[in-house]
């Protein structure tokens, strides 16, 4: 059995807009593998998740990204939703936090629209990724190799990068991210 016992995983989300199932499903996978998920956001308090366009649940923030350090975490998950990564990619602290995981060689997992934040952090060049189909051109223009597959695992760089397309892919995405995070 794959275990994340002793590992702390950051989940970076904007104050509003994360697709709830893309936050909660990987979160549960980390918990079930014995890891500790920690929500990080651009401001304290609570974050508002969405079920597509409808408001979902709120979640307490553990750390504010401007005060957090990648050194405090073993891995990073970037949930999708359109609004979440769109807000994160315009926040310098969030972009720097993401880049720090690559600089320190720690694994990152991103689903759906989350690769927008990876593009802004300038960490996709020469790497293989998948995403929600509408991001294909953005990723290719940023130098990534894009494929329409459930999950891509790219180890052609300083760290392992797991990417996935959409909520339907979550079972496979969760299994792969737990396996990759366990090896790190």
Return the active site residues.
112-113
Is residue 41 within 8 Å of 64, Cβ to Cβ?
Answer: yes
* Nearest alpha carbon to residue 102 among 86, 122, 85: 122
- CA dist 97 to 13, 66, 117, Å? 12, 8, 10
CA angle 160, 163, 164 (to 5 degrees): 155
CB atoms within 10 A of CB 41: 28
Where residue 58 falls (left for φ over 0; alpha for ψ -120 to 50; beta otherwise) is beta
Q: Under a CB-based contact definition with an 8 Å cutoff, are residues 33 and 182 in contact?
A: yes
Q: Indicate the DSSP class of residue 135.
A: G
Strand partners of residue 146: 129
Contact 25, 170 (CB under 8 A): yes
């Amino acid at each position: 059995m794959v275990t994340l016992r002793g590992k702390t995983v950051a989940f970076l989300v904007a104050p509003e807009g994360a697709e709830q199932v893309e936050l909660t499903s990987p979160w549960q996978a980390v918990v079930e593998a014995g890891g500790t998920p920690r929500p990080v956001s651009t401001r304290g308090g609570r974050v508002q998740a969405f079920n597509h366009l409808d408001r979902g649940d709120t979640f307490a923030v553990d750390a504010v990204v401007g005060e957090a350090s990648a050194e405090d975490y073993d891995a990073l998950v970037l949930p999708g939703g359109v609004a979440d990564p769109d807000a994160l990619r315009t926040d310098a602290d969030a972009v720097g936090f993401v880049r720090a995981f690559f600089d320190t060689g720690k694994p990152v997992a991103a689903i759906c629209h989350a690769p927008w934040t990876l593009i802004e952090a300038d960490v996709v060049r020469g790497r293989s990724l998948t995403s929600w189909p509408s991001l294909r051109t953005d990723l290719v223009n940023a130098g990534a190799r894009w494929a329409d597959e459930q999950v891509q695992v790219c180890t052609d760089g300083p760290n392992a990068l797991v990417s996935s397309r959409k909520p339907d892919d979550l079972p496979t995405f969760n299994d792969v991210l737990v396996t990759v995070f366990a090896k790190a």
